[in-house]
A and B are shown apart, each in its own frame.
Chain A
């Protein structure tokens, strides 16, 4: 079984400030971890993924995330927030057991304050 917990359904940061979105996972086997972003009335866009190897993963739009096995965490960060970052962010976990089922968290809505 696998699950994802995203702490904070709403996060507000000032433009130019650090963005930190939290994600903790539960998985009985080594996980594959993903962050997706969803803009209003759109589907999900992949920001970054962790499968194996380097635990610090860089994604698009200046985002990065670090896989910490000991803390079962995969928090998303960006050094300097931009107005265009305002969106809903979803953390997801999967593993390989013959299917690619993604289990998503409930999402975090990021608001950028001018």
Chain B
């Protein structure tokens, strides 16, 4: 079975631009979470969506938004990009969540801001 897939794999943008990252969860998984991993650090939680509803939000500015579609795929949108947004963005999916179901991660989208 296919794992979590993310697109694109790499992206280069300039400051002030907008970006959309996409994620397809493992078949049957209804929960999708997004994380930001800055070089040399652990991933930081951005959002979780379950059944198309936002279930959790991390400490990120309103420039970050996300949504989940009826097929459980998800998009992460970032507006007014800053140099500090350069990072690896990871998507993770899990089966209906109770907190102890492991999250399965994609290989991420590496976003570089010039």
Contacts and interface: CB of A to CB of B under 8 A. Distances in A.
Interface of A: 4, 32, 34, 36, 41-46, 49, 51-52, 90, 92, 94-107
Contacts of A32: 99-100
B87 interface: no
Given A43-B4, A43-B90, A104-B42, A94 B107 contact: no
Dominant SS among interface residues on chain A: loop
Contacts of A95: 99
B48 A101 contact: yes
A44 B90 contact: yes
Given A42-B107, A44-B90, A46-B104, A96 B99 contact: yes
Contacts of A106: 40-42
10 contacts: A42-B108, A43-B4, A44-B43, A97-B99, A99-B48, A99-B55, A99-B56, A100-B103, A102-B35, A104-B43
Nearest to A49: B102
A100 B42 CA distance: 16
Given A92-B42, A102-B92, A104-B43, 4 more contacts: A36-B105, A44-B105, A46-B103, A49-B102
